[in-house]
Amino acid sequence: MPSLKDLRNRIASVKATQKITKAMQMVAAAKLRRAQEAAEAARPYSQRMGAVLANIAQNVSGDDAPRLMAGTGADSVHLLVVCTAERGLCGGFNSQIARLARDHARKLLSEGKTVKIITVGKKGADILKREFGQFIIDHFDLRGVKQLGFVNADEISRKVIALFEEGAFDICTLFYSEFKSVISQVPTALQLIPASAGGEVEADSGKGALYEYEPDPSVILSDLIPRNISVQIFRALLENVAGEMGAKMSAMDNATRNAGDMINKLSITYNRQRQAQITKELIEIISGAEAL
């Protein structure tokens, strides 16, 4: 049975923790609004980019298609780009993305494929290196970045494209968490290379409309596909930031509530033990007085 002093110290410690979790919840709520606006603003651009690629790809035959779209013709070597947060205290946000990438890697390895991994974010690297440390070929640390920008995504994109041009892999898949709401972030896998032209064709293009492309459609695609890869990575990073703030807000809210419940239970235990001690002392005083 802990003493009254131990209970007082523990109550004070839990109250201090509750103040920290409440402050972190408020900070996450403030950052969530900006992050959510940035993620939602990036979606129309990436979707429009997919529609443009789909329209142009219809006019390109298989032989004229750029290598980034046609691929190498093989699928023996897979590159996984896993984007997670740099910090923890956000519930299962990071572990869900890492679990999706880990399950995909295990499936590929069981089929006899070669797996290579690029991690973006410290938490994903820490989780994956326990089992797939030998497959991690590069890591991007964004902890020193004050404001996430397109230049950060473009740096990752250039690295991926350079590896593809060197023949280091055949298929590249991007893993991130799509922001749905404060309590819902969906781990997502998106194939970057070979670039998919599966976007919806523009609805206002009209039936039978003829387009003349200058320069050649294959040349346009050669310029647009690398940019589209950067755009998709940038969108993934923005979605991750919004998802991280939403998950952190929920996690810190739960931690604050749990701390409050623990304080109430400890206070009840403290009061009961204090009352029992006072009653015991009164009985001893009365018994001593009667003995005299």
Residues acting as catalytic residues: 90
What per-residue string of b and e applies to 157-168 under the rule 16 or more CB within 10 Å gives b? beebbebbeeee
The DSSP-derived string for 143-189 is TT-SS--HHHHHHHHHHHHHHHHTT--SEEEEEEEEEEETTEEEEEE
| Distance (Å, whole) CA 69 – CA 290 | 98
**Cβ atoms of 82 and 175 closer than 8 Å:** yes
Q: What one-character DSSP code corresponds to residue 200?
A: P
Phi and psi at 81, nearest 5°, equal -100, 105
Strands (E), 237-281: none
Q: Which residue has the tokens 């046609």?
A: 70
| Distance (Å, whole) CA 248 – CA 254 | 10
What per-residue string of b and e applies to 115-134 under the rule 16 or more CB within 10 Å gives b? bbbbbbbbbbbebbeeebee
Query: Between the CA of residue 268 and those of 14, 238, 271, what are the distances in Å?
Result: 14, 45, 5
Query: Who contacts 136 (Cβ-Cβ below 8 Å, separation ≥6)?
Result: 117, 118, 119, 125, 128, 129
**Cβ atoms of 84 and 126 closer than 8 Å:** no
